């Protein structure tokens, strides 16, 4: 359960209205919950920090992929090895960046509507892809060692 911080009558994303003396007002058309409300700035900033952290990860993946393709010496007997290892990392970096933006928007909407936060798919994407690249790395190294 999210802690309600900041606003009287319910907190960061509550749409409950109250009188200046702190007593809730009688229900009526003017007091119906709005569809969206500005969340507490701390939640918005935390959402943005998460988005920026995922983009740092994306940038690191792109740079690692470029480094493998451009700077790593060729694997003996496996001319395609550098590209097979580097290109998936570059693509993963692009996917992570776009997905981070989509999730940032979904989280911001959930905050504004006081609905549960959606579950992130980014950890699963990273685990699957990095595991695949690690397995491919082992294959490239073994093939290179045999030749």
Domain boundaries, the chain: 41-146
- 32-74 pLDDT, tens digit each: 445 778 888 898 999 999 999 999 999 999 999 999 999 999 9
Non-local (6+) Cβ contacts of 94 within 8 A are 58, 62
Q: pTM, whole model, 2 decimals? A: 0.71
Query: Residue 17: pLDDT band by 50, 70, 90 thresholds?
Result: very low
How far is it, in rounded angstroms, from Cα 130 to Cα 42?
32
Q: How far apart, in whole angstroms, are the C-alpha atoms of residue 61 and residue 9?
A: 45
């Amino acid at each position: 359960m999210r802690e309600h911080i900041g606003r009287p009558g319910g907190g960061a994303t509550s749409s409950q209205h109250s009188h200046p003396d702190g007593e809730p007002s009688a229900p009526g058309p003017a007091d119906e919950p709005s569809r969206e409300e500005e969340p507490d700035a701390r939640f918005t900033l935390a959402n943005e920090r998460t988005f920026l952290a995922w983009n740092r990860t994306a940038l690191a993946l792109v740079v690692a992929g470029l480094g493998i393709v451009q700077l790593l010496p060729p694997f003996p007997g496996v001319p395609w090895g550098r590209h097979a290892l580097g290109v998936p990392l570059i693509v993963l970096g692009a996917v992570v960046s776009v997905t981070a933006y989509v999730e940032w928007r979904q989280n911001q909407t959930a905050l504004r509507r006081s609905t549960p936060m959606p579950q992130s798919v980014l950890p699963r994407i990273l685990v699957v892809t990095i595991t695949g690249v690690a397995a491919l790395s082992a294959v490239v190294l073994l093939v290179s060692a045999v030749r």
